[in-house]
Amino acid sequence: MSQRLRDTFAKGRAEGRPLFIPYVTAGYVTREDTVPILLAMEAGGADVLELGVPFSDPMADGATVQHANFVAVDHGVTLRDCFGFVREARAQGLKAPVVLMGYYNPILAYGEERAAVDARAAGVDGWIVVDLPPEEAGSFLAACRANDQSFIPLVAPTTKEPRIDILAAAADAFLYCVSVTGTTGQRAQMAADLPEFLARVRRHTSLPLAVGFGVSTKEHVAAVGKVADAAVMGSAIIAVVDAAGPESRAQSVREFVEDVSGR
């Protein structure tokens, strides 16, 4: 369990304020962009940072994050590099909790135990592993628990109620609620049944709930903030990175995060 994550969510609740969690793929657009972007997110008011671990086959991601993954894989960016980015950002003063998001195979290839140990040493707080449901996560979950890492399960609109208990039991910091049945990516509107979905999850857990997938605008973030503890934004951030010139990516992300987080 990551105390830093627990404290951050507790502070948000105490202040009656939803948290903002932006995402960026590590090594996108270049290796050199990642540390400045992480620092810019925090400076812009982000509460928790999500760093994508590049994978060659990101099957739950839409076109935007897929592309970012392919570019980063082409640069040869690995899980080891992700630890390096976080370590460097911490050295430069990053305080916010950092959660790695990605797929299981790079973790397996690195070694589950070693990944959790090295993650703690680098200053990582938790993991969202898209293709690792708790039933398959036994060894990685144990490695996380032994190394102050939070395992963050996903909950989907198609998750049946009895199963929410299983997911909540694997969590210790927060649950990541997938707002739509679909891949990551920007959408015009948030799912209409989001409040009902979150109410269903809340019946089974008192842990904080973050909402992601399809959170695309400032308005979406505000709407999510009314019903959840945190909003996650990914593809929209990647779009900001894409629109900025090579010299101004971090600055553009900072301005965008300032605007969206309202801090």
Strand stretches in 179-260, DSSP E: 209-212, 230-233
One residue of 97, 153, 208, 212 binding other proteins per CB under 8 A? 153
Q: Degrees (nearest 5) of the Cα angle 71, 73, 75?
A: 75
Min CB(123)–other proteins separation in Å: 21
93 — alpha (psi -120 to 50), left (phi > 0) or beta?
left
Asked if 109 touches other proteins (CB under 8 A), the answer is: yes
| HSE value, Cβ hemisphere, 13 Å, CA-based, for 88 | 15
Q: Looking at beta carbons only, is 10 or 109 nearer to other proteins?
A: 109
- Show the site string, 51-70: x = touches other proteins by CB under 8 A, - = not: ---xxxxxxxxx---x---x
One residue of 167, 191, 211, 233 binding other proteins per CB under 8 A? 167
Q: Which two tokens stand for residue 226?
A: 């009314």
One residue of 155, 191, 194, 198 binding other proteins per CB under 8 A? 155
Alpha-carbon span 60 to 182, nearest angstrom? 8
Amino acid 229 reads: D
Alpha-carbon span 1 to 254, nearest angstrom? 29
Q: Looking at beta carbons only, is 242 or 255 nearer to other proteins?
A: 242
Q: Looking at beta carbons only, is 98 or 180 nearer to other proteins?
A: 180
Residues that bind other proteins (CB under 8 A): 54-62, 66, 70, 73, 78-80, 103-110, 130-133, 135-136, 153-160, 162-163, 166-167, 178, 181-183
**Residues identified as active-site:** 50, 61
